[in-house]
A and B are shown apart, each in its own frame.
Chain A
Amino acid sequence: MEKLLDVRDLRTYFYTYRGVVKALNGVYLTIKDGEVVGLVGETGSGKSVTARSIMRLIDPPGRIVGGNVFFEGRDLLKLSDGEMMKIRGRKISMIFQEPVIALNPVLTIRTQIIETIMANRDVSVNEAEEIALELLEAVGLPNPKMIMKRYPFELSGGMAQRVFIAMAISANPRLLIADEPTSSLDVTIQAQILDLLNRLMEEGRISSMLYITHDLGVAAELCHRIAVMYGGRVIEFASTEEIFKEPLHPYTRSLLKAIPRLGYYDELYTIPGRVPDLVNPPSGCMFHPRCPYMKDVCKKEIPEYVEIDNSHYVACHFAGVKDVR
C-alpha cells in the first residue's frame, strides 16, 4: 500500500505570554491508502494539535515551525493558502468532538450543508440540495427533508454529529481526520457513530481515516495501526495487534495497565506523576520522570524514533533491550 499521508518531524509551537509552548516536538506519522490509524494519548499530548497542523488550521499565537506533511506526494506546508483551501474539504476533511457547537448556531442545516457542498464540488444549488438529501440519508438520518430545515440547537448530539459527518464527506475526501468524534456523546450514541464510520468506510465514502481518541478500546476496535503520543511526540507506532500484545514503550505499557477490565476488582492502576509541562519540558526523554525503568541516559538524551522491527516504531532508549522489561 502506498503512503497517503507522511508526516515527518512536525513541530508546532505556541508563543504565549508564559513562554513558548512546544506542543509538537517532531511528530512522525504515516497513513496508507485505505487504512485507519488511531492517534491516542492523554489530554495535552498533542493529538489535536497534530490534526490541526496537518490541516494547517493553526492560528497565531501558534505556528508550525518545522517538518513536512506529505500528502499524495506534495508537502502541504509549502502550499499557498489558496491551494490549501482546496485541499481542505475536498482531499482532507475533519470532524470534531463537539458536533453541536461545530455547526453555526444561526444558520439552518440546509444553508450550511449546501454551502459546504458548493464550496467543494462544482454543482448548482439544486444539485447540491439533492446531494445533501442523499448524504443525510447515507449517514442514517431519518427524514432528511425535516433535518434540513432545522437549526443546530434543535438536534441532539448524535444527530448533529451525523450532519457534520455528512458535510465532511460531501466531496469524498481521501482522508478524514476524526478528532474524538464520540467523546461528547453518550455511550449508546458513541457505538452508533462508530458503526456509521465503519459503514461509510465499507461503502467507500471514506477511504482513509486518522482517528484521534483517548479511549484505547475504541482505537482497538476501529484502527489498523495505532500511534501513541506523549509530550508532543509519537512515542510508539505499530499495528493494533502489536500495540496490545507486545508494547515496547514503557508509557504504552502503563497505559494498557490503566484500562479497567471486567472481572478484576483491584484498584485501577494509574501512571504516577503528571503530563509534562510543555513550556519547560523535562530534559532528555519526556517520560523519564514517570518511567519505572528510568536510567541516567534517559535524563540526558532524547531517544530517537526508530523502527525496531517490521514497521514497529518506538522512541525509547531501551526499546530493543529485552532484559529491562
Chain B
Amino acid sequence: MKILDKWLMEHKYKIQDVKLMMNMIRESFLAKLGLTIITMFILTAIFAPFIATQDPLMQDLTNRFQPPSLEHPFGTDHLGRDIFSRVVYGSRISLMMGITVTLILFTIGTTLGLIAGFFGGAVDEIIMRITDIIMAFPSLILAIAVAAALGPSLLNTMIAIAIVGWPRYARLARANCMQVKNELYIEAARAIGVSNLRLIFSHIFPMIISPLIVQATINLGGVILLAAGLGFLGLGAQPPTPEWGLMVSEGRRFISRQWWISGFPGLAILLVALGFNLLGDALRDILDVRMRR
C-alpha cells in the first residue's frame, strides 16, 4: 500500500490530467461516439480470428451473391466469400497501414519541421520549399502518381502515402517550434551548455507534442481513407487480399443488384474515418489548455 501511495503522489499531476481527460470525453457525445468506434475497430482488428465466421479467402461458388442473412450477416460476394469475415479481416490491414504510415509521417515530418524551425535560414528554406512543392498537388493525385510509379502493392501504398503526408507535420512542428524557441528557458538552457540536439528533442519537442498528436489522430482517418482509395483504384492491395477499398472496387460491377458487396466495406471505411475525425476533434479540445474550464 505504501508503495502505491508513493507512486500516486509522484504522479499526481499525470493522474489529474488523465482524470480531467476522462471527464471531458464523458461530457461530449461526439467524443464518446468517436472513442467507441475506434475502440471497436481496434478490438475487431485484434480479435479478428474469433469474430470472423469463416476464412475470408474461402470461396464457395454455390453460394454466390447471397443477401445478408443470419448465416452471412453481410451477405456473400461474386466468389461466394463471406463479406462479414472479409470486412473483419480488412480491419487488420487498415489499422496496420494507418498506424505504421502515421508513425512514419509523424517521425519524418516532425523531425524535419523541428530542424527547419530551430535552425532557420537556408535549412528552413530548403525544407519548406520541398513541403510547398508536395502540398501544391492534391494528395490523392500525387499518391496515385507515386503508387503507379512504384507498382501496386501494400508496401508501395504506404510509401506513397508517406511521401504525400509528411509536409503537414513538418509545417505544424516548424510553426510551433519557432514560437517555443524564443522562450527564455530555451535561451537559458543554451546559456548553461545544453546542446542544440538536446534542446530540440528534449526541450522543444515535449512543448509542441499536443497539436501533433491531434494532427496524427485526425490524419489516421485520412491515411486509412487514402489507402482505401488507392486500393479501390487497383494501386494498393491486390486480390484476394480483404482490403476495404479493393472490396468496394470488386463489388462495383454488381452495385445495382447486390449492394452489400460494396456497401458494407464502404460503410466500414466511412465509420473508421469518421471515428478518427471525431476523436481527433475531441483530443484537440482536451489537449488545448485554453479550452479547459
Contact = CB atoms under 8 A, between A and B. Distances in A.
A119 B191 contact: no
A119 B194 contact: yes
B109 to A, nearest CB: 21
B79 interface: no
Contact of B10 (A86, A98, A103, A149): A149
Interface stretch (A104-112, A256-264, A308-316): A104-112
Contacts of A94: 188, 191-192
Given A89-B191, A104-B189, A106-B206, A60 B184 contact: no
A107 B206 contact: yes
B195 A105 contact: no
A93 B194 CA distance: 11
A107 B191 contact: no
A101 B207 CA distance: 14
A102 B193 contact: no
Contacts of B28: none
Interface stretch (B196-204, B266-274, B277-285): B196-204
B27 interface: no
Given A101-B183, A106-B206, A107-B203, A93 B188 contact: no
A102 B185 CA distance: 4
Contact of A85 (B183, B184, B195): B195
B206 A89 contact: no
B280 to A, nearest CB: 22
Interface in A45-98: 55, 57, 60, 85-86, 88-90, 93-94, 96, 98
B222 to A, nearest CB: 29
B186 to A, nearest CB: 8
B188 to A, nearest CB: 4
Nearest to B120: A60
Contacts of A89: 191-194
Interface stretch (A25-33, A164-172, A241-249): A164-172
- Band of interface residues on B: 20 to 34
Nearest to B183: A101
B190 interface: yes
A57 B187 CA distance: 7
Contact of A102 (B10, B13, B120, B188): B188
Contacts of A103: 185, 188
Contacts of A120: 192-193
Contacts of A116: 189, 192-194
Contacts of B191: 55, 57, 88-89, 93-94, 96, 168
Interface in A143-172: 149, 151, 164, 167-168, 170-171
B283 to A, nearest CB: 18
Interface in B51-80: none
Given A60-B120, A101-B183, A107-B203, A85 B188 contact: no
A125 to B, nearest CB: 14
Given A101-B184, A101-B185, A119-B198, A106 B192 contact: no
A89 B185 CA distance: 14
Given A85-B195, A94-B192, A116-B192, A102 B203 contact: no
B202 to A, nearest CB: 7
A190 to B, nearest CB: 19
A119 B184 contact: no
A85 B192 contact: no
Interface in B184-237: 184-185, 187-196, 198, 202-203, 206-207
Interface in B3-30: 10, 13
B187 A167 contact: no
B119 to A, nearest CB: 10
A167 B13 CA distance: 25
Nearest to A105: B185
Contacts of A104: 185, 189, 203, 207
Nearest to A103: B185
A86 B195 CA distance: 9
26 contacts: A55-B191, A57-B187, A57-B190, A57-B191, A60-B120, A85-B195, A88-B191, A89-B191, A89-B192, A89-B194, A90-B193, A93-B193, A96-B188, A101-B183, A102-B185, A102-B188, A103-B185, A104-B203, A104-B207, A105-B185, A106-B207, A107-B203, A107-B206, A111-B202, A116-B189, A170-B192
Given A90-B193, A120-B192, A151-B13, 4 more contacts: A55-B191, A88-B192, A101-B183, A119-B194
Interface of A: 55, 57, 60, 85-86, 88-90, 93-94, 96, 98, 101-107, 111-112, 115-116, 119-120, 149, 151, 164, 167-168, 170-171
- Pick the 10 closest A-B CB pairs, nearest first: A89-B193, A102-B188, A94-B191, A89-B192, A120-B193, A104-B185, A119-B193, A88-B193, A101-B184, A106-B206
